[in-house]
Structure 1
Amino acid sequence: SLQFYFRGIHHRHPKGVEFKWILEGYETTWNPATDAEYVSYPNLPPGDFTFRLLACNDSDVCSEPVEFKFEITPPIWQTVWFYVALGMGLMVITYAYIKIRERRLLEEKRILEETVTERTKELREQKEIVEGQNKHIMEGIDYAKNIQMAVLPSEEDMKEAFDDHFVFYRPKDTVGGDFYWVFSEGDVSWAAAVDCTGHGVAGAFMSMIGTDLLNQIIIEKKIDNPAEVLAEMDKGIKLAFAQSAKEFESDQGMDVVLIRIDCKKKVVDFAGAQRPLFIMQDGELIQLEGNKLSISCAEQRRNEEFENHRHHIKGNTVAYLFSDGIVDQFGGPKGKKFMVRRVREFLDETKQLSIFEQSVQLTKTFDDWKGEDIEQIDDVMLLGIRL
């Protein structure tokens, strides 16, 4: 606040003196005459001012005006230089912030790159370890495949047992749980198509157990009844898993189609564990059903025994043994299962073909049904034997 104090002198009538004033630069007209001897101007803005004052007596005779010129400078925060300095300061602060941020980002980038490099090194080392382990696993699986192929009947074994035959065998993985087995002695030949629990390595181990049981029961013990052979296999697999039965939560076992052909008597004896036998005789397809029992390490819920079925061979007769892999394979235009019905239809449609031609047609039919986009879901096996 700015205040002006003043006094006028009049010898005859001192109390009759009045004052008029104007603050040029702030006011545009003179203030009315008053006997007040001071004036206050609060909150004047910055600028140049001239205070003019007149003293007048009671006859309205006024003195020459007196004046006082002064300047009110703006506060520093209202000056141009302040704004310039402020702008420069903000620029410096912004630049400093950017440089600090940039340095921090570069440091974070460096730390991240070091971390990535370290993690990449660790991943590379882990990848090498996994690749090494995978190599050993694949070598083991390939070795298991070689063993399984060595255990499966060779083409010479098949020809020795059966003059005319075909084998459609396609494991889902490198090794499989499906296997076939043949044996011949004199006028008698045996054939089995076995579907073990699971596929891959686990199924392959089960197939080794199944092959060993068939060798023991038929070749060593010389049991000549298919139903008795299945019963002995059931006992054998229970014995094999007896010490570790608690470790297996699911039912470990196998489904079997087993036939014994006596060429001299012209008969074929059949027993099945959850699998049927198809016989095409003189253009007529005959389906022999097996028992609804599996060869299993678990105790059977039903008190039932395997049954033997005898069929007399007449004329042109072909037996077909197969696992459920071909039946359960999805495919076709609607992505449905192949089903037993289509197996019957295929055999009926190709009954006039030779065994070799039928084998070629079966491969084509299965591949066309599965297509390229649908995965094979299980091991697939089908044997055709001319009796």
Structure 2
Amino acid sequence: MKSLLAVAILLRKQENKKKLNNTIYIADDDKNLLNLYSSIFDSEEDELDFFSDEESSDEKFSIKLFEDGFFLVDEFKKIYEKGEEIPLVILDMRMPQMNGFETAKRVREIDKNTIVIIITAYHELSISEIRSELKTGIYYFKKPFNEDELYSLVDSALKQWNNFKELAELKNNLELKVEERTKELKKSKKLIEKAHQNIKDSINYASIIQKLILPNKTILSEYFSENFIFWKPKDIVGGDIYFIVELDSKEEVIVMVLDGAGHGVSGAFLTMLVKAIENQIVAEINSGFLEPSPAKILEEFNISLKTILEEGKSKIASIGFDGAVLYYNKSTNKCLFAGAKSDLIIVDKNGMCVINSDRKNVGFPRIKIDQKYTDQEIEVEKGIKMYLFTDGIVDQIGKNGKFGKSQLFSILSKKWSLDEVGEKVERAFFKHKSDFEQNDDVTILGIEF
């Protein structure tokens, strides 16, 4: 067991040793001093082989000895060009070909991080002059020097250098990871932006289609003296929709304002479905299979939507709407109204009144398939105004709470022209909404007989 533990410790030490760079280059023209350096740093070489490629077998330090700074610089440059680094050099100040100060400058030109220790018995240059030239990482020893102090300095300096390199490597690795991650995020961002743009383009196209299915409001001018429509989806597309249908008799018109479940894309899909059902209902009315009754129209919508729910085997799908339907025959002056949780506002010479609708929606799972709705006949005279609307405007949140029915009714009850009423409603809505997000789709349709 002990032998295995010893092997593990040894392997661990070897692993740690590989991680450290404790190489020292030493230049001095005095062979006795070179032997002393070898002894200080525990070199086991009996005879020093100058300029040899073999490094010391010392466990802690790896030293290489040179008789002159010129040879040290030449070797230093070759090693650096191979991608290796020499953490520390010890230089004698006076040498025949290249002195210690010049050698230190050349070394620093190659690698600015190499630690330099200059040892001399002379005072050719002051410490301040050397440090002003070489900046940081320069140490100065005067001969004769204390061997223990030199050893301690070298040991501490190499630890500092290796710590610095480790931190630099970690920093570099971190920067590379950050750079890679940034590239990945930018790539993902581009993919998301492209997907978002594709979705937005599709929704914009759906908006064009939705607007195309909205009726031509000029039909209203054939039956009513004035009219206005304020239609404002919450998003690019919406769940509110209105229909203005002139029947084949050319004497009858049906006006519908419907508030579909949801808004945005889901609401828009529902309006497409409702439009398809509306076409079928109108065809049945024109063919004489269905009487032009607002109540019957709502019932047909309900049956169709409920049938779709049953065929889709969905018991919880929110497919349905609140809505108001108005029928008018200009030859007989007959006007009928039916609503599914959507009231009719009438303003005449006597003031404003609310014609309440049935309190049942159309289509939703909780609504029975044979649900009945109620026709209410409205007496029509010249100058009477009628308003069909969804609840988007009254529920709109602003700084002072909801827009509310009282504010809406206050505007609708005024004796203004319909153009003025429409303008006042729209302006009041945006003023109340201010910087708040729009809550829901908004539709108001006004007509004057």
TM-score category (smaller protein): 0.7 to 0.9
C-alpha contact 1:161 1:182 (8 A) present in aligned 2 = no
In structure 1, stretches of 5+ residues that fail to align are 1-82
Task: Give the alignment partner of residue 145 of structure 1, picking from 202, 207, 213.
Answer: 207
Structure having the higher strand fraction is: 1
In structure 1, the residue matched to 2:406 is 341
Q: Give the TM-score normalised by structure 2.
A: 0.63
In structure 1, the residue matched to 2:95 is none
Task: Tell me how large the CA RMSD over aligned residues is.
Answer: 2.3
CA distance in 2, matches of 1:337, 1:120: 45
In structure 2, the residue matched to 1:244 is 312
In structure 2, the residue matched to 1:232 is 300
Task: Give the alignment partner of residue 280 of structure 1, picking from 334, 347, 358.
Answer: 347
In structure 1, the residue matched to 2:161 is 99
In structure 1, the residue matched to 2:415 is 352
Counterparts of 1:248-263 in structure 2, within 5 Å, are 249-263=316-330
**C-alpha distance after superposition, 1:67-94 (max 9, x if no partner):** xxxxxxxxxxxxxxxx966665554444
CA distance in 1, matches of 2:188, 2:222: 51
Counterparts of 1:181-200 in structure 2, within 5 Å, are 181-185=243-247, 186-200=250-264
Pair 1:322 & 2:384 matched: no
C-alpha contact 2:246 2:254 (8 A) present in aligned 1 = yes
In structure 1, the residue matched to 2:35 is none
Q: Secondary structure at the match of 1:280?
A: strand
C-alpha contact 2:395 2:402 (8 A) present in aligned 1 = yes
Q: Secondary structure at the match of 1:296?
A: coil
In structure 2, the residue matched to 1:375 is 437
1:318 CA displacement: 0.9
CA distance in 2, matches of 1:226, 1:218: 12
Pair 1:201 & 2:265 matched: yes
The residue type paired with residue 382 of structure 1 is I
Q: Secondary structure at the match of 1:107?
A: helix
**C-alpha distance after superposition, 1:135-163 (max 9, x if no partner):** 21111101100100000012434434544
CA distance in 1, matches of 2:371, 2:292: 20
1:285 CA displacement: 0.8
CA distance in 2, matches of 1:386, 1:86: 109
Which is higher, the Rg of structure 1 or of structure 2?
A: 1
In structure 2, do the counterparts of structure 1 residues 155 and 94 end up closer, same or farther at CA, with 3 Å as the change threshold?
farther
In structure 2, the residue matched to 1:220 is 284
In structure 2, do the counterparts of structure 1 residues 88 and 159 end up closer, same or farther at CA, with 3 Å as the change threshold?
farther
CA distance in 2, matches of 1:245, 1:341: 42
Aligned-residue identity in percent: 30
C-alpha contact 1:161 1:184 (8 A) present in aligned 2 = no
Q: Secondary structure at the match of 2:447?
A: strand
C-alpha contact 1:177 1:202 (8 A) present in aligned 2 = yes
CA distance in 1, matches of 2:350, 2:192: 56
CA distance in 2, matches of 1:128, 1:158: 48
C-alpha contact 1:160 1:184 (8 A) present in aligned 2 = no
The residue type paired with residue 206 of structure 1 is L
Q: How many residues align?
A: 300
1:106 CA displacement: 1.3
In structure 2, the residue matched to 1:362 is 425
CA distance in 2, matches of 1:84, 1:375: 80
CA distance in 1, matches of 2:350, 2:161: 92
In structure 2, stretches of 5+ residues that fail to align are 1-144
**C-alpha distance after superposition, 1:302-327 (max 9, x if no partner):** 98521111111023111100001001
1:264 CA displacement: 2.3
CA distance in 1, matches of 2:330, 2:380: 9
Pair 1:266 & 2:333 matched: yes
CA distance in 2, matches of 1:357, 1:174: 26
Choose between structure 1 and 2 for higher RCO, CA contacts under 8 A separated by at least 6 residues: 1
Q: Secondary structure at the match of 2:174?
A: helix
The residue type paired with residue 359 of structure 1 is G
C-alpha contact 1:182 1:189 (8 A) present in aligned 2 = yes
